[in-house]
Structure 1
Amino acid sequence: MQPSTKIKALFSSFSIKLFVWFWLIAITSIFSTRFISHQLSSDTYNRVVSQAPLHNELRQLHNTARKIERSKIKNLDQLLQTKQQRFIKGPFNLWFKSIDTNSTVYSLFRLPPKHQQVVTRYLNEQVFDKAITSVFPHTRLVGPVLIKINKQNYQLFISRKQHRRNFGQLVQDLPSWARVTIPIFISFILCLLLARSFSKPIATIKKAATELGKGNLATRVTGITKRNDELGQLAKSFNQMAEQLQQNQSAQQRLLGDVSHELRSPMTRLQMALGLAQQDSTTQAARQQYLQRCQLEIERLNQMIEDALALSRLENTLQTIEKKHLNFTALIERIIHQEQFVANEKSITIVLDSNVIVELVGNHNLLFSAISNVVTNAVKYSPEHSTVKATLSLNNQLVSLVICDNGIGVPPASLTELFTPFYRVNLARDRKTGGTGLGLAIAKQAIMAHQGNIFAKNNENKGLSVTIQLPL
């Protein structure tokens, strides 16, 4: 797996997402708490930076002082009441600090209450011996310069509103309830999104599980399977489970219908043979022939039921099979030795072409049954005095067994249907050979239980080749 793929898989993990979300919420809570306490602190709001005044600020301050002293203003109250803008215009403001009385502070224009309170307290608490520029988060204050109004001494200051405002200054202007509500609302939204990201897919899976429990095996989880985290994997696993259950039910229903249909023909022939054998006009020789026919049909019924049960067990994908280490080459040799007795009746020779000793993990009985069914079919449909060849090879951790006969083969359209239960290429031929139509279906299910593959193809000259592939 490439590093980028590993990183993508890591950050797609449900556990990582859960950690990151809670981490973000924790960080947000910490910073929100810090931010609120910081903003509610008077030190922050009252923070001031002192620096040397600019030349144009000093010039404006002195020009304004001269204008006030040359005017005919009788006292400070008259100046404050008339708010004469010939001395200063917005966005500037004038501040007066009395130095003859109790250091009272006055302003020509009123600022917002919090700003007014902060600047007033600052001027009252500070002692100025020279002109400086005092920079607040909200106001820039320059001064003082000494002036006289009606023989009263005052310190004159000029202020203007700070134009550069950051987010913290904007929050400072908000009411206290708003500064508390905003982070609470943000954390609420984050937690809500977190809860929905978890609860919505879980609710969807729960709904699908409820429908599945009611017997609707066609239910599938949609809209979540594209996720790469654990919830997406859970949805995919649920869909796989539902698919397997539906396949099992369909297989059972199909098998039940097929068995019911296939049992009719031998049962009908059995009833006819018994009816003829019971007739008074039937001779002893004919009666004996009818009874032999009954015996044959009973054996076929018994074989069909056994095969149907075996197929049913294999199609039940929820059933686990026991696997052990086994010598696959020796297993094939035993099968060929056993089937050779039947092949001798038609003078057919079964040969094994292999130069490898293959060992794998599998179920001995299932593999024995699957390969035996394929070899038996090859012998049944091969002409007399012919050869059935089994070729065993090993390639890239894959075992391949090819069983080739010299029969007439099958129509190309029937190749994919050969492993379907009760499928027969030629009904009359299968009836003659005693086939039930379940042998290759059983073989397919046994091979699939080992995560293998089985398929058939016609040979170039004549005959049919069945290939079995198994992983080591």
Structure 2
Amino acid sequence: MTTATNSNNPTIRKRFKLKLFWKILGWFWLTIVVLITLFSFIAYINSGKVHFRVLPPPIMMELENATVKAQNYFNRTETRQGRSKRRMREVFILNSQGEEYLGRPVPAILSELHSRVQRADRPLTAFRKQEAFVGGLPLQIQGEPYRLYMQQRSRMFSVHLVRSFFRDITKTLLFAVFVISFPVSFLLSWVITKPIRQFQLATQEIKANLANRSNLVKLNNRSDEFGELAQDFEDMANHLSRLLSSQKQLVSDVSHELRSPLSRLKIALGLMEKNSQDKNIERIKLEARRMEDMLENILTLSRLDADEIDTQKEPCDLSKIVQSVINDAQFEASEASINIKSQILPNCDLRGVQEALYSGIENIIRNAVRYTGQGGTITITLENTDDHYLLTVADSGPGVPEDELDSLFEPFYRAEFARTRETGGVGLGLSIAKRAFALNGGTITAKNIEPHGLAILVYFKTT
């Protein structure tokens, strides 16, 4: 129904929504990656493997200072050298054969470090969980070549151990993340969200047709909470179906029962008009016609919902049907000084139910006449666009709020501004049109047009 456009309504912005599947996938993936990394690091530091690295600058400077001091001690007199042996217990001095100058046992990690330093001919560091040695700078003692090493606290190398871990297992970690953890996370997320997707499909099916419950049946077969929820959902759908059926039956029965007294009322009005000049008789006749139209619309909608209309499709010319409806609407439009402009493409052949097509087209054109207003213009076009016929009925009325466009095709829906005595109607015309066109494979939409007005667009697939 055409109503005034509320230009003050703020534009509704759609918020970005991250689907539950991707949220679950992200959390699963992050959790698995953290666990893989943590367990790998624990295994790495407990493996006992010795790691060798080039000395960082601060440690190198400390080693150089220690080597200079040691060389100074050994360059002094024999007495001072004896004293220096006691003072040099904090370092290890190894010859080319790996023997310690003070005769102390050499740890295995230091022995391996000494071999590597001699091969590389440069200072290195060796560390593992609880041991760390640095060194390899050369010095001379009584003309014999030695190399100096210092034992460090392992906690000083905690950062280096972490860096070494990531450097050593980067490829393995990437493989675990992308080849193992991602597919596992994807599978878990898919399994968890599958019932939710089925519920979404089930609600869409029920929204289109309460009798269509194929996805709900699949969920009912589950033995978990989703199955119980599906059963509750089906019970609710059955309850709604019974309520709607009762409502439709009641409306249909009442409409049928009202037709007889309405017919008698019209006969009585005809007799009164012959014998009386009361001006109120015309008003009563107008209201009687409106009531008759309303009952006819209710019965038509009831027949379409109950599939009681003849659905046998046959070849028909959409152009002739549209033109016939326009000719019938001209009389009603002329009373309100409404100008109907039409541009109808001839020979628009399709297979359809002619009764439903005529009813749907009649309702959208009469709706345009009703809401265009005195002296307005209605433009009707029928054209061929790609593989569709497009029927457009545009009026010069005030239009409707954007957020109410989709609701125009719901039964008994009328925007608040449209509820006036002058326009009449109960909000069934466009609902009947939607069902009538759907019976013929057509779709109907509505949009506002500039500077004001409403356009109804109907698409039919060409044969």
TM-score category (smaller protein): 0.3 to 0.5
TM-score (norm 1): 0.41
TM-score (norm 2): 0.41
Question: Structure with the greater relative contact order (CA < 8 A, sep ≥ 6): 1 or 2?
Answer: 2
Report which of the two structures shows the higher radius of gyration computed on alpha carbons.
1
